[in-house]
Amino acid sequence: MRVTTCMYRSVLAALAMAAPLLAQSRPKPASPPPTEQEAGGVFRVPSQFPPDPEPPKAPEEPKPVVLTYEGKPLLVPFACTDDDIQTFGMTCSAEDPCPVYADLTSIQSAGQRIFVAGNFHNGASTMYSLLLLSPDGGKTWQEPVERYRSAGLDQIQFFDMETGWISGQSFQALPRDPFLLLTTDGGATWRKKFIFNEARLGLIEQFLFDSRTSGSLLIDRGAGAEGGSRWERYESMTGGDSWMIREVSSTPLKLRASREAGVSTAWRLFADSRSKAQLVQRKSGESWQTVAAFAVQVGLCKPSESELAEPPPPPDPQPQTGPAVTPRRGPATKPTLRKRP
């Protein structure tokens, strides 16, 4: 076939007319993501992949409860659980709940800060330790350290405004696992340090620090101590972090000191039977001034509603959902009559 000049021009014209249509049908290239300019004139192209999800935030710690003394005895919060009832062998019911008491045993001050130590008990068992702090001379109170189950706190000593110790031990069948609470920031925070590296019977009868690092304490192992060596004396040169035994005796020991830890001449705890409270009092001349008071009974233990609820009745038998089954019967037969011979 011979291509003429006229045919060639017709093909070129057709291609020129189809070019815009071909350009519109062709997919456009993806536009690049916007760039971000950093310091120094450097451009950074962000990733096309979605960013990693942020890790969940840790739950906020509950704020400590602050009690304000306004002339009436303060009620230290206490919530009894079913686990407490079972652990301490309490026979409580909704009609006859078990009372819980706060027993304050020791008081000491460090400037305007007042510390009161003790425990919660039900009359037969020590349930939890208790430490109360007032940063303003008795106006407000809070707990600066957690409560320890089956434990109680006893003596308090502050060597200076920042360094202090509180003795404690666990109470189960017998006192055991004596420990100290130590602070180096004026009682804002405390850390627990056991006297022994293994579980042992005994309680801290007395302790005393002569400096921030040097201290002594006496351990009473109880009447059933092996070999009759009931009393032990220990020394520490690490501020209470570690202890070395120095003396064992079958007769009571005494620390060679002119004063005892946990004994304050300016403060005292006074049991007031009329108000059923324990008074925090400061010496003022020849008299005592009450700066705070705490109710003796703090709560009641009784089983929770879930424990008291009756078990649900057994479920009703479910009807059959399939077709009813009719028992099969054989074909009916007529009795056969025999003729008599």
- What is the per-residue pLDDT across 85-119, written as a single tens digit (0 to 9) for each? 999 999 999 999 999 999 999 999 999 999 999 99
120-129, 140-149, 186-195, 224-233, range with the lowest pLDDT: 224-233
The more confidently predicted of residues 91 and 256 is 91
Q: How much is the pLDDT for 8?
A: 56
Q: What is the DSSP string of 201-256?
A: B-EEEEEEESSSS-EEEEEE--TT-GGG--EEEEEESSTTS--EEEEEESS----S
Split at pLDDT 50, 70, 90, the class of 28 is low
CA 151/CA 84 separation, integer angstroms? 13
**Contacts of residue 54, Cβ cutoff 8 Å, sequence gap at least 6:** none
| E strand map for the chain | 36-37, 43-44, 67-68, 98-110, 113-121, 126-134, 140-141, 151-158, 164-171, 175-183, 191-194, 203-209, 215-220, 231-236, 244-249, 267-272, 277-284, 287-295, 297-301
- 186-215 average pLDDT score: 96
Q: Is 330 exposed, middle or buried (0-12, 13-18, 19+ CB in 10 A)?
A: exposed
Q: How much is the pLDDT for 305?
A: 76
Split at pLDDT 50, 70, 90, the class of 264 is confident
- % of the chain at pLDDT higher than 70: 71
The more confidently predicted of residues 4 and 72 is 72
40-44, 125-129, 136-140, range with the lowest pLDDT: 40-44
Instruction: List 220's β-bridge partners, or say none.
Output: 203, 231
Using the predicted structure, report yes or no on whether residue 147 has a pLDDT greater than 50.
Answer: yes
CA 319/CA 322 separation, integer angstroms? 9
Using the predicted structure, report yes or no on whether residue 139 has a pLDDT greater than 60.
Answer: yes
Using the predicted structure, report yes or no on whether residue 34 has a pLDDT greater than 80.
Answer: no
Using the predicted structure, report yes or no on whether residue 337 has a pLDDT greater than 50.
Answer: no
Using the predicted structure, report yes or no on whether residue 71 has a pLDDT greater than 80.
Answer: yes
Using the predicted structure, report yes or no on whether residue 335 has a pLDDT greater than 50.
Answer: no
Using the predicted structure, report yes or no on whether residue 15 has a pLDDT greater than 90.
Answer: no
Using the predicted structure, report yes or no on whether residue 2 has a pLDDT greater than 70.
Answer: no
Split at pLDDT 50, 70, 90, the class of 180 is very high
Using the predicted structure, report yes or no on whether residue 56 has a pLDDT greater than 80.
Answer: no
Using the predicted structure, report yes or no on whether residue 194 has a pLDDT greater than 80.
Answer: yes
Instruction: Read off the pTM.
Output: 0.72
Q: How much is the pLDDT for 175?
A: 94
Using the predicted structure, report yes or no on whether residue 258 has a pLDDT greater than 50.
Answer: no
Asked if 279 and 69 count as a contact pair (C-beta separation under 8 A), the reply is no
Q: How much is the pLDDT for 172?
A: 87
Q: How much is the pLDDT for 45?
A: 63
- % of the chain at pLDDT higher than 90: 64
Domain ranges of the chain: 67-301
Please state, rounded to an integer, the average pLDDT across all residues of the chain: 84
Q: How much is the pLDDT for 242?
A: 96
